[in-house]
A and B are shown apart, each in its own frame.
Chain A
C-alpha cells in the first residue's frame, strides 16, 4: 500500500517525541516508549516462526529419495532399465547408457508455489549420473521441450560432444547422442548450454555427474546436494533458494544419519543470478575435497564457498546425537529456503 501525504510528509523520527510528550503527560504514561515485555516475548517465539508454511507434495519429486539416488537407483528395477543400462566392456570397464529427455514441467519449489520449470526427465535437479573413471558414457538425449536444449558435461570430451555451440543445439522433437569416456574422477555436473544460458540454467536444466576413482572411495553414507534457486517473478533475483529445489524441505524432514559413520556429500552449486553460494554445517567440521579430484579432503572447515559451477566432496562424521542445522552462510539464502537439518542417531541408518 502506498500512502503518501505528499505536501505534508516529513519523515522526522525524532519529532514525534515532542508532540507525544504532551499526551503522555495527559494520560500519565509516556506515549512513545517501546513495549519491552511484548518485544521480548516475540523474540522468544521468533525462531519457530521463520520458514515456509506447509509441506510440498512429494508424489512427483521427493527430495529425500533424490538425495541418495544415482543412475536411477530410486526407480523399480523394471522401470530403471528404461533409463539406464550397464554393458561390461572387454577391458573390464562398463558402457553406461542413459536415456535423458528435456521436458517442460511445473514443479513445486515451496509449499503452494509452482514454478514453470524446464527439466531433465521431469525433475529438478536432473537425475544424478554416476560412472567409474574409464567407463564409456553414452547419453541418448531427446528434446521434448518447447525450446532448443543441449547437455553440456563438465569433464574430458571432444568439442563435438560439448553441447555449447550454436550447431550443438537440439531442436524440440530432435535427439542427440553424447558419448565420451568418464574422466577425470571427481565430482562434475551437466547442464543445458543453449542460449540464453542464464534462463536455460535457472529454469532447471542441470544435474550432478559423479565420476568415481577406479579404486573406490571408502564406504560412506553418500548424498547429492545441488544448491539452486528460482526466480519466480522475473526480476533476475531468486525468490526461493534450496538444496535440491524445495525450500526448507529438510527443516521439517531432517536427513537421518548414523553416529560414527562417514557421511559424504556431493555438493554442487548451480545457483543462477547470485555470484556465490555456500555451505555451513553446525556443531562439527568437515573435510573439503574440491572438485573431488583428490582421493581425500585437504581442508578442514565448517563453511565452504562455491561459485556457480564449482563443486566439492565433503566428508564428515557425526559425533553427537541430535539435530544439526546446515545452510548457506548467506543469511538471506538460508531464510529464503536454503536451510535444513541432519538428525544424527545411534545404530544403522534408518531410511
Chain B
C-alpha cells in the first residue's frame, strides 16, 4: 500500500473508530438509563397475522416497542381465555410470538382479541367478520385464481380486443387515446399510492413503512427505466412502440399484483366478501387497463401471440397477488408490492408522455384539444367505474 493510500484509509477510519468507542461507552455505562430516569417501559405490540381455524385463533405478534414485554393473559370478547404462547416468557424488541387460542368463534360475526401484558397494558385486534382463514391448498388456490381471472386477466384481455380498432384511428384520435391512457394511469397512480400509504399505517413502526414505500417506488421506476432501455437497445420486437406497450403492461401488472394482494388478504382474513357488484366493478374498471396497453402499439402490426403476452403480463399478476395476499399476507410485503406498482406506473406515464411529445416540448403536446380531452375522459372513466368498487 502506498503511504498516501494508507493515510487516506486512516483518515477515513478514524471517525468510525471513535464512533465505535462512543457506542461502547453508551452501552457499558448507565448513561442511557440515567437520561431515561424512572420512565415506565414503553410497550408496543403489533399484530402480524390472525388466522381463524376450526379450533380457534392463531395469532402472530411482534414486539414493535423499544422495551421487552410479557404477554400475561388473553381476552376474547371480554372474557379471559385459555391460550398457549410460543416462545413463552419475555418478548424482546422485534421478537415474535405465536399464540394459540381455542375458541368457539361464530361464523360471520365479529370477535375481539385483546392481549394483556404483565403491566396490564392491552393490545386489541378486531375480527369484523369471522370466517375460516384459507389454508394453502387446491380449493382456495382455485378460488383465488378464479377471483384473479375475473378481476385481472379477463378484463385486460377484453380491453386488448380494441387493438384492431385503434389501428384504424387518425393521429388526432390516437393522441386522444394515448392521453386517455395517461389519464387512466394517473388515476391508478393516485390509487396505488393511497393504498400504499394506508398499508404503511398497519406496518410495525420499526420497519419504517414510509421509507420502504418511497424506496420501492424509486426502485421500480428506475428498474423499469433500465429494463426499457435494455429492451430498446437489443431492438427486441417491433421497436419503441412495442417496448412501450410491454412496459405499460408490466406497470399495470405490478399494479394488479398489489390489487390482487389486497383482495386476497382481505378475503383471507375475513375482512371483506367479494360481492357481485364488486366483481362487476373490477371487470369494468380493469377493462380500461387493456386499452392502455394497446394504445402505444396502435400503428404497429403486432402478432396475436404478442398481444396475448401483453395481456398475461398485465393480468396474471392479479392471481399471484391474490395467492400471496391470501396465504402469506404481511403488511410489510403489501407495502413493498404497492410501492413497486406505484413506481412502475409512474415510469409508464412518463414513457408514454415522452413518446407523444416526440421532439417537441412536453407542454406543447399536452396542450392540444384531443389530448386534454383524453386525459380528462381517462380520469373520469376510472373515477366512475371506481364508484362501483368503493
Which residues of chain A have a CB within 8 Å of any CB of chain B?
A: 1-16, 18-20, 22-23, 26-27, 31, 34-35, 38-39, 41-43, 45-46, 48-53, 109-115, 230, 232-233, 239-240, 247-248, 332, 335-337
Q: Which chain B residues border A336 with CB–CB below 8 Å?
A: 75, 78-80
Taking a contact as CB atoms under 8 Å apart, the answer to whether B82 and A232 are in contact is no
Q: Is the CB of A52 within 8 A of B201?
A: no
Residue among A3, A50, A112, A240 with most chain B CB within 10 A: A3
For residue B389, give the distance in angstroms from its CB to the closest CB of chain A.
6
Known: A113-B118, A336-B80. A10 touches B278 (CB 8 A): yes
Contact across chains for A34 and B107 when beta carbons are under 8 A apart: yes
Interchain CB contact under 8 A, B120 and A230: yes
Q: A7-B191, A114-B118, A115-B120 are in contact. List 10 more A-B contacts (CB 8 A).
A: A1-B49, A7-B386, A15-B274, A23-B142, A23-B143, A27-B142, A39-B107, A46-B102, A46-B104, A232-B121
Q: Which of A15, A332, A337 has the most CB of B within 10 A?
A: A15
Report the nearest B residue to A335, measured CB to CB: B79
Chain B hits for A51, CB < 8 A: 80-82
Are B266's CB and A8's CB within 8 A?
A: yes
The smallest beta-carbon distance between B296 and chain A, in angstroms, is 26
Let me know if B73 and A15 touch, CB within 8 A.
no
10 closest residue pairs by CB, A with B: A232-B120, A15-B275, A112-B72, A335-B79, A38-B54, A1-B47, A12-B275, A16-B273, A49-B82, A5-B262
Neighbouring A residues of B108 by C-beta, 8 Å: 13
The segment from B7-15, B125-133, B158-166 found at the interface with A is B125-133
Pick from A34, A39, A113, A230 the residue with the most CB of B within 10 Å: A113
- Contact A113–B72 (Cβ < 8 Å): yes
Interface centre among B78, B202, B259 (most CB of A within 10 A): B78
A residues less than 8 Å from B107 (CB atoms): 34, 39
How far apart are B176's CB and chain A's nearest CB, in angstroms? 27
Task: From known contacts A6-B194, A9-B266, infer whether A53 and B121 are also in contact, taking CB-CB under 8 Å.
Answer: no
| 24 A-B contact pairs sorted by A residue (CB < 8 Å) | A1-B49, A3-B202, A3-B265, A11-B128, A12-B277, A19-B146, A22-B146, A23-B146, A31-B143, A35-B132, A38-B54, A42-B54, A49-B81, A49-B82, A50-B82, A51-B82, A53-B83, A112-B118, A113-B119, A114-B119, A247-B80, A332-B79, A335-B78, A336-B79
Which chain B residue lies CB-closest to A31?
A: B143
Bound state CA distance, A42 and B104, in angstroms? 5
Contact B139 A232 (CB under 8 A): no
How far apart are the CA atoms of A39 and B54 in the complex, in Å? 7
Q: Identify which of B82, B195, B273, B276 contacts A6 (C-beta below 8 A).
A: B195
Interface string of B252-274 (1 = CB under 8 A from A): 00000001001101110101111
Within 8 A of A (CB), among B52-109: 54-56, 70, 72-75, 78-83, 102-104, 107-108
The reply to whether B262 and A8 form a contact with Cβ atoms under 8 Å apart is yes
Cα-based distance from A27 to B272 in the complex (angstroms): 22
Q: Are B259 and A8 in contact (CB under 8 A)?
A: yes
CA distance A11 to B390 in the complex (A): 10
The residue from B54, B122, B125, B202 contacting A232, defined by CB atoms under 8 A apart: B122
Complex CA distance for A109 and B120, rounded to whole angstroms: 9
Is B46 positioned at the interface, with any CB of A under 8 Å from its CB?
A: yes
Task: Find chain B residues with CB under 8 A from A39 CB.
Answer: 54, 104, 107
Beta-carbon contact of B72 and A15 below 8 Å: no
User: Which among A5, A42, A115 is the interface contact of B265 at CB below 8 angstroms?
Assistant: A5
Instruction: Say whether B331 faces chain A, with CB atoms less than 8 Å apart.
Output: yes
Knowing A11-B129, A12-B278 are in contact, say whether A1-B55 is a contact too (CB < 8 A). Answer: no
Check: B147 CB closer than 8 A to any chain A CB.
yes
Interface centre among A5, A7, A48, A115 (most CB of B within 10 A): A5
In the complex, A43→B104 CA distance in Å? 6
Task: Name the residue among B108, B117, B267, B272 with the largest chain A CB count within 10 angstroms.
Answer: B272
For the complex formed, measure the closest distance between the CB of A211 and the CB atoms of chain B, giving whole angstroms. 35
**Which of B116, B142, B269 is the most central at the interface, judged by chain A CB atoms within 10 Å of its CB?**
B116
Tell me, in angstroms, the Cα distance from A247 to B199 when the chains sit together. 38
User: In the bound complex, do residue B195 and residue A13 qualify as a contact, i.e. CB atoms below 8 Å apart?
Assistant: no
Give the shortest distance, in Å, between B109 (CB) and chain A (any CB): 10
A residues in contact with B389, CB < 8 Å:
7-8, 10
The reply to whether A45 and B102 form a contact with Cβ atoms under 8 Å apart is yes
Q: What residues of chain A lie closer than 8 Å to B214, measured between beta carbons?
A: none
Judge if B351 is at the interface, Cβ distance under 8 Å. no
CB distance from A5 to the nearest CB of B (A): 4
B198 at the interface (CB under 8 A from A): yes
A202 to B78, CA, bound (A): 19
**Is B135 interfacial (CB 8 A cutoff)?**
no
Q: Which residues of A contact B46 (CB under 8 A)?
A: 1
When the two chains form their complex, are residues B276 and A15 in contact, meaning their CB atoms are under 8 A apart?
Answer: yes
Q: A22-B146, A52-B73 are in contact. Are A232 and B79 (CB under 8 A)?
A: no
Task: Report the bound CA distance from A296 to B266 in whole Å.
Answer: 62
On chain A, the residues within 8 Å of B390 by CB distance are: 7, 10
CA distance A20 to B279 in the complex (A): 12
Which of B80, B122, B386 is the most central at the interface, judged by chain A CB atoms within 10 Å of its CB? B80
Question: CB of B365 within 8 A of chain A?
Answer: no
Q: How far is the CB of A309 from chain B (nearest CB, A)?
A: 25
Question: What is the bound-complex CA distance between A113 and B278, given in angstroms?
Answer: 45
A35 → B minimal CB distance (Å): 5
CB-defined contacts of A22 to chain B, threshold 8 Å: 146
Question: In the complex, what distance in Å separates the CA atom of A43 from the CA atom of B102?
Answer: 10
CB-CB under 8 A from B198, the residues of chain A are 4, 6
Cα(A112)–Cα(B91), bound, Å: 14
User: What is the distance, in angstroms, from A24's C-beta to the closest C-beta of chain B?
Assistant: 9
- Inter-chain contact B80/A19, CB cutoff 8 Å: no
Say yes or no: B78 contacts A113, CB within 8 Å: no
Q: Which of A9, A23, A53, A115 contacts B139 (CB under 8 A)?
A: A23
**Which residues of chain B are near A31, meaning CB under 8 Å?**
139, 143
B50 on the interface (CB 8 Å rule)?
yes
Q: Quick one: closest A residue to B192, CB to CB?
A: A7
- The distance in angstroms between the C-alpha atoms of A60 and B277, with both chains bound, is 62
CA distance A247 to B80 in the complex (A): 9
CB nearest neighbor in A for B259: A8
> With the chains together, A50 CA to B74 CA distance in Å?
10
Encode B192-222 as 1/0 by CB contact (under 8 A) with A: 0011001101100000000000000000000
A50 touches B277 (CB 8 A): no
Given contacts A35-B54, A42-B102, A45-B102, contact A10 B82 (CB under 8 A): no
User: Which of A1, A11, A112 touches B50 (beta carbons < 8 Å)?
Assistant: A1
